[in-house]
Amino acid sequence: MTLTVAGSINIDHVIRLPQFPRPGETLTGRDYRIVPGGKGANQAVAAARAGATTRFVACVGEDALADSLVAGFAADGIDTAAIDTVEGVNTGVALIQVNDAGENTIALAAGANGELTPSRLQRHAAALNCEQLLLQLEIPLETNLAAARAAKSHGARVVLNPAPARSLPDELLALVDLITPNETEAERLTGVAVNDDAGAAAAAGALHAKGIEVVIVTLGARGVWLSERGDGRRVPGFSVQVVDTTAAGDTFNGALVAALQQGRPLAEAVRFAQAAAAISVTRPGAQTSVPFRAEIEALLEQH
């Protein structure tokens, strides 16, 4: 089976702070780093490291770091033939602050990600002949819609991580087979507050009503709410020492589709994805924190 990820590539500028600054406040940070990121890229890397045969449809700019980013994806075994270099723009940028509790705030500039238009996507139509398509919301919405339509026409399972949080048209949701919102994103999509398991179940029900077969609401330290055709339950996560939550959700999504590609049952795939995410939060950074399949299997064996 082949997985295609269509999504964003960012250069992450990360700084650690004791706490997030208030408006007008200046704080001295530490451990400033420039690392590869972007939800699409993070999820493609997570999927490939977890064992998935992965293709990536994306754009980079003409800046100095673009070539090294693409080379890094290739080193992880990702098919990079559908990554375009766009003239006259920079690669996407994320400014990330991480506090001492491991929480983060992120400011984005789309850059080349905004150039992944439906017409550019059409140049890579062959990549959308796949068994699974994984999407996020850091590229133009109309591109996600076009990608979902094309992949669906080939019989693919369409997986959407609806992040960053925003409202979405029913036209796109109707093409989605599996969706993975966090609590904030689930509330944005459904109007249902996800403060407990009852809220998660209600939000999942609202998403099922839009035609989505499988809903996985990620609940942070509480695990996930897994609902298949309305049959839902909470799956507790792993207890670990949190260093940095950046890319935890991306790691979960990439590992999830990798496990499904390997033919694991849904519940087992969710557990595999939770283990991958648990490892990632014990490490700093985005792609730098993403584990490999052997590490994930080792954690599962310990539990």
In the annotated binding site, the residues are 10-12, 38-42, 138, 182, 218-223, 244, 246, 249-250, 280, 283, 285, 289
Identify which of 277, 293, 269, 268 has the alpha carbon closest to the alpha carbon of residue 240.
Answer: 277
Distance of CA 210 to the CA centre of its chain: 21
Q: Output the known binding site for ATP.
A: 182, 218-223, 249-250
Respond yes or no: is residue 177 known to be catalytic: no
Q: Could you give the maximum distance between any two Cα atoms of the chain, in Å? A: 52
> Hey, what are 214's tokens?
């499988």
How many Å apart are CA 151 and CA 233, to the nearest integer?
A: 29
How many Å apart are CA 256 and CA 47, to the nearest integer?
A: 8
Phi, psi of 205 (to 5 degrees): -60, -40
> Hey, what are 9's tokens?
């590539």
CB 254 within 8 A of CB 274: no
> Which region holds residue 41: left if phi is over 0, alpha if psi is between -120 and 50, else beta?
alpha
The active-site residue out of 67, 76, 231, 250 is 250
Sequence letter at residue 107: A
CB 73 within 8 A of CB 19: no
Identify which of 229, 221, 232 has the alpha carbon closest to the alpha carbon of residue 198.
Answer: 232
Identify which of 180, 221, 223 has the alpha carbon closest to the alpha carbon of residue 203.
Answer: 180
Residues 6 or more apart whose CB falls under 8 angstroms from that of 173 comprise 160, 179, 189, 207, 210, 211, 212
Residues known to be catalytic: 250
